[in-house]
A and B are shown apart, each in its own frame.
Chain A
Amino acid sequence: MDAGVASGLLHLAATDSAVPSRLLSPDAASKRPSAPGGCGGAGPSAASPLLPDALWHRLRRVSLHPTPRRSQRHITPFFLGLLALAAAAWAAPQAPSPAGKPAQPAAIGCVDCHLALDDARITPPAKLFADDIHARAGFTCAFCHGGDASAQDQEVAHDKKKGFIGKPAPRDIPALCGKCHSDAATMKQFNPSLRVDQVSEYRTSGHGKMLAKGDTRVAQCASCHGAHGIQHVKDSRSPVSPRRVAETCNGCHGNASLMADYKLPADVYAKWKKSVHYQVRVEKGDLSAPTCNSCHGNHGAAPPEVGSVANVCGTCHTVFADKFRLSPHWEPFKEMNLPGCVTCHENHEIVRPTEAFLAEGDQGKCSSCHEASSAGGKAAAAMHTDLVALSGEIRAARVKVERAAEAGMEVSRIQFELSKADDALTTARTDIHRFQAAAVHATASGGLAVAREASKAADKALAERDYRRKGLFVSLAVILAAIVALTLKIRDLKTGQPPPPVN
């Protein structure tokens, strides 16, 4: 037992119940296991047999000894003993268990039997549960599966009269998990910041609705979080951890035959991998870029409604969404039932937008609805011209500034000025979403003037570089001439001959 376990033990001894009595079946709560081990005995942490033992006692106290006076008689000497054990554990040198594995309790319990049976169906869950977040919090098999965890006989342990439910049916899983996760009073004892509306949300999801109708192929809690090796969602081992959630969704949503039954595309993951969001999130490692649940929600997963697309995109792209709401497209899109942002930017395969979106041609977005000769087509062309001019000027200026910087010129102020032109380009790109060419022109013109100034300053810096180099060559020529003159003078000296006599 390590010091951490000992301190945890002291903590348990000092605080009130961590697991409420209502979570215990009467049988589990009333029986003290004959020896530590298993679900009701040694409990979740086989490496720390004292922890579940203490927990068991505390649970027992809560359920069987409601009056403090009676419990105190038993608990006081017991906790004194625990404190002594904790102190001994703190001070004792740590002895590694054989082969580096946690020491296994000797007694029989759910885990012991299920491990000993070495059955491909029932042994892996017992192994996985040892490192489950619930096991670490002190929960045991019986909390979900019921039965008599302390029994050494399978028939007794699996007695349905004792609440044994075996493997929960998929349809029952949300309610089973919700037993704790929907209970604020319970959850705040373990993770006060965790929400408790996951099951309610789930019932509003596509998955939840279909499960309610009896379709057990849809995702429920265990489909995404796992059943026995559950980890915190921020733990990289969790299938729904930020870096893995897309692959987990794709487990079903990339299954063409399964998706065909629901008339859903099976290429959404492949499309997302081509998106700018994937590039930023996965290739650049910026986890603020969206993955599946960022737009679809996690427990309430469902495609955003047509009318709410702009709201969903607008949670990150706020400026774009605000300007789009002010645009002449806002009302017609609603009337035409067009899905806002998705109309031009796609939903999963969202590529980095370019000025070409505004132009005629394969990539043109405006031209797919507006004729070139129409007012909309002309406005798109004007915006395209402004943006191309500005981005071209910025590019040209930046090339010069970089050349000057490589030559060692001090260009930080020019770079700062150029960043203002970058800002203007970004603003002009957001202005496009108002679809008012005059606004884009005003912003782009301001940026263009700044970029031209930066370009001139970069030209000046390059001219200065050339001036320095010319100056250097002139100086070198003068120095060389001086060296030649000195050398000639030295040759005239009769070095090594005795110096003239000094008076």
Chain B
Amino acid sequence: MAGLKSWTQERLGWDELAHLVQKKEVPIHRWTIFYYLGGMALFLFTVQVATGILLLLYYRPSSAEAFESVQYMMADVPFGWLIRSIHSWGANLFVGVVFLHMISVFFLKAYRPPREATWITGAVLLFLAMGFGFSGYLLPWNTLAYFATKVGTDVPAQIPGIGHLLSRILRGGSDVTGATLSRFYGIHVAILPAITTVFLGVHLVLVQRHGMSVPPGIERQGKPRTMRFVPDFLLRDMVGWLVAVALLAALAAFLPWELGVKADPFAPAPAGIRPEWYFLWMFQGLKYLPAKIAGIPGETLGVFFLGGLALVLAILPLLDRKRSRLWNAAAVVVLIGAALLTVLSLLPRKSMP
């Protein structure tokens, strides 16, 4: 045993890693609870990877077979229903936790120097998470997903000049077809995971490099107490993960993710088409825009606004150098606006006269 330890030590350098882990500390203060969100997001991402790999064993990415293969998983594959439901529910929890993580990091001002790159990689990971959600939504090839993807892939077409080309590239043609499904499958299981691996790796290395940020208000009161990452923080993290597993299992057993009806490209669009909840505010906002604003198509302006918002979010640490309170106010306005638009899009629609 000692020989094996020394053999691996020589080749892998475990002791240095163990030393790093033992050295890692987490500050204790009234906002410590928000430190758990990063670990929770990472745990849920791991669940997504694991369940996603299992789904890959049965899923067939073609318009002729996708729906039937998911149906087969739900009805015949042992625990297929559990894996698929956990993957679907887990995706929503994951995006929700990532949002909360980012909001908490923003208000705790954890993006202050020297953690700008951590924030930027985190913002990219948020966009990647949304990309996972958007591409995965179509994969069961059911009616709601099909028409929601039609609407979603129309959005880039609003960009002047290259918009239509972008939309065509995204769809693999002029309309949402089996080619789009193959493309989204490739994006969902290969392209996005590859990019995510890089950004997640950098993000985690940077978190280890800089350690946990202490909020400015706490910092002013002096250096806070700390706890060891291992085992103190990790065990607490694990309690949260177990709660997440219990929640996912309960959702899968009592509210299995619905499969719906197979997509029929020739059928009229059904009522109540809507994207995943985290896109609803954009979807609703674009609907409210007038056809023309100062001679420019409203939707084009809307797409530019959203693109601008994403850019501002990504490079926020570079813009908020003086830690102005205006950024907090702007963030509150955006969050309230997005929440309001989400609620409005969920309200029952008035029937047409």
Measured CB to CB, the residues of A under 8 A from B are 408-410, 412-413, 468-469, 471-472, 475-476, 479-480, 482-483, 486-487, 489-490, 493, 495-496, 499, 502
Q: Contact at B246–A479, with CB atoms within 8 Å? A: yes
Q: CA separation between A493 and B235, bound complex, in Å?
A: 10
Chain A residue contacts of B249, Cβ below 8 A:
472, 475-476, 479
Pairwise interchain contact A486-B25, C-beta atoms closer than 8 A:
no
* Contact sample, A vs B, 11 pairs, CB 8 Å cutoff: A408-B254, A408-B258, A469-B253, A475-B249, A476-B246, A476-B249, A479-B242, A479-B249, A483-B242, A493-B231, A496-B226
A490-B232, A496-B225 are known contacts. Are A472 and B253 too (CB-CB below 8 A)?
yes
Q: Is B283 an interface residue (CB 8 A)?
A: no
Shortest C-beta distance, B226 to chain A (Å), equals: 8
Q: Is the CB of A410 within 8 A of B235?
A: no
Q: Is B178 among interface residues, defined by CB-CB distance under 8 A? A: no
- Report the minimum CB–CB distance from A416 to chain B (whole Å): 11
Q: Is the CB of A499 within 8 A of B228?
A: yes
Chain B, residue nearest A414 (CB):
B75
Q: Are B74 and A495 in contact (CB under 8 A)?
A: no
Q: Give the distance in Å from the alpha carbon of A46 to the alpha carbon of B312 in the complex.
A: 62
Is the CB–CB distance between A482 and B235 below 8 Å? Answer: no
Does B255 sit at the interface, judged by CB under 8 A?
A: yes
**Is B208 positioned at the interface, with any CB of A under 8 Å from its CB?**
no
What is the minimal beta-carbon distance from B68 to any residue of chain A, in angstroms?
10
Asked whether B141 is an interface residue with its Cβ less than 8 Å from the other chain, the reply is: no
Assess whether A408 is in contact with B232, with CB atoms less than 8 Å apart: no
Contacts A499-B25, A502-B19 known; A410 to B75 CB distance under 8 Å? yes
Distance from B308 Cβ to chain A, minimum over Cβ atoms (Å): 41
- A472-B249, A476-B249 known; A483 vs B243 contact (CB < 8 Å): yes
**Chain B interface residues toward A at CB < 8 A:** 19, 22-23, 25, 28, 71, 74-75, 81-82, 225-228, 231-232, 235-236, 238-239, 242-243, 245-246, 249-250, 253-256, 258-259
Is the beta-carbon distance between B19 and A410 smaller than 8 angstroms? no
Quick check: B81 and A410 within 8 Å, CB to CB? yes
Contact partners of B227 in chain A: CB under 8 A: 495-496
Closest chain B residue, CB of each to CB of A412: B71
Known: A408-B254, A410-B81, A413-B75. 17 other contacts (CB 8 A): A410-B75, A412-B71, A412-B259, A413-B71, A469-B253, A475-B249, A476-B250, A486-B239, A486-B242, A490-B239, A493-B232, A493-B235, A495-B28, A495-B227, A495-B228, A496-B226, A499-B226
CA–CA, A216 to B242, complex, Å? Answer: 89
**CA A258 to CA B286, docked complex, whole Å:** 63
Complex CA distance for A402 and B282, rounded to whole angstroms: 36
Contact assessment for A502 and B23 in the assembled complex, using a CB-CB cutoff below 8 Å: yes
B259→A410 contact, CB < 8 A: yes
Residues of A within 8 A of B253 (CB): 468-469, 471-472
The interface residues of chain B lying within 8 Å CB-to-CB of A476 are 246, 249-250
A469 to B251, CA, bound (A): 11
Q: Specify which chain A residues have a CB less than 8 angstroms from the CB of B256 in the assembled complex.
A: 408-410
Q: Check if B28 sits within 8 Å of A482, measured CB to CB.
A: no
Could you tell me the distance in whole angstroms from the C-beta of B123 to the nearest C-beta in chain A?
32
Checking A475, A490, A499 against B22 with a beta-carbon cut-off of 8 angstroms, the contacting residue is A499
Distance of A412 Cα from B260 Cα, bound (Å): 10
- Residue among A476, A493, A499, A502 with most chain B CB within 10 A: A499
Residue of A nearest to B18 (CB): A502
CB-based nearest A residue for B245: A479
- Known contacts A408-B255, A410-B259: A490-B246 contact under CB 8 Å: no
Smallest Cβ distance from A412 to chain B, in angstroms? 7
CB distance from A160 to the nearest CB of B (A): 52
Looking at the assembled complex, report how far the CB atom of B92 sits from the nearest CB atom of chain A, in whole angstroms: 16
Contacts of B228 in A (CB 8 A): 495, 499
Q: Which of B225, B226, B254 contacts A469 (CB 8 A)?
A: B254
Closest Cβ of chain A to B247, distance in Å, is 10
Q: Chain B: which residue is nearest A499 at the CB level?
A: B228
A190 to B259, CA, bound (A): 53
Chain B residues lying within 8 Å of A495, measured Cβ to Cβ, are 28, 227-228, 232
Which residues of the other chain, B, contact A489 by a CB distance below 8 angstroms?
A: 231, 235
A486 to B232, CA, bound (A): 10
Chain A min CB distance to B208 (Å): 16
Give the chain A neighbours of B255 by CB distance below 8 A: 408
CB distance from B243 to the nearest CB of A (A): 7
CB-defined contacts of A471 to chain B, threshold 8 Å: 253
Which A residues lie within 8 Å of B259 (CB)? 410, 412
For A502, the chain B residues whose CB sits under 8 A away are 19, 22-23
CA gap between A62 and B81 in the complex, in Å: 80
The CB with the most chain A CB atoms within 10 A, among B82, B253, B255, is that of B253
The CA-CA distance from A482 to B242 in the complex, in Å, is 8
Which 9 A-B pairs give the minimum distances between C-beta atoms?
A408-B256, A410-B74, A472-B253, A410-B75, A495-B232, A479-B246, A495-B227, A468-B253, A496-B225
Query: Whole-angstrom distance from the CB of B26 to the nearest CB of chain A?
Result: 10
B260 to chain A: closest residue by CB: A412
Bound Cα distance A469, B81 (Å): 13
- Bound Cα distance from A212 to B116, whole angstroms: 98
Chain B residues within 8 Å of A410, by CB: 71, 74-75, 81, 256, 259
From residue A431, how far is it (CB to closest CB) to chain B in Å?
Answer: 33
- For B243, the closest partner residue in chain A by CB is A483
Known A495-B227, A496-B227: A483·B239 in contact at CB below 8 Å: yes
> Do residues B250 and A472 form an inter-chain contact, with CB atoms below 8 A?
yes
Residues of B contacting A482 in the complex (Cβ-Cβ under 8 angstroms): 242
Most buried by A among B22, B239, B250: B239
Q: Determine the distance from Cα of A408 to Cα of B71 in the docked complex, in whole angstroms.
A: 12
Pair B28/A496 contact, Cβ less than 8 Å: yes
Q: Give Cα distance in the complex from A466 to B131, angstroms.
A: 36
The docked-state distance in angstroms from the alpha carbon of A471 to that of B75 is 17
* Cα–Cα distance between A476 and B242 once the two chains are bound (Å): 10
Cα distance A292–B152 when bound, in Å?
49
* Bound complex: CA A421 to CA B274 (Å): 35
- CB <8 Å contact, B81 and A490: no
In angstroms, Cα B259 to Cα A412, docked, is 10
CA distance A221 to B231 in the complex (A): 95
Nearest CB in chain A to that of B259: its residue: A410
Min CB–CB distance A128 → chain B (angstroms): 28
Q: Which residue of B lies closest to A409 (CB)?
A: B256
Q: Cβ of A472: which chain B residues have Cβ within 8 Å of it? A: 249-250, 253-254
CA distance A107 to B205 in the complex (A): 92
B19 to chain A: which residues have CB within 8 Å? Answer: 502
Across-interface contacts of A469 in B (CB, < 8 A): 253-254
User: Min CB distance, A323 to chain B, in Å?
Assistant: 34
* Beta-carbon nearest neighbor of B255 in chain A: A408
CB distance from A49 to the nearest CB of B (A): 36
**Complex-state Cα separation, A87 to B69, whole angstroms:** 62
Residues of A within 8 A of B81 (CB): 410, 468
CB <8 Å contact, B75 and A486: no
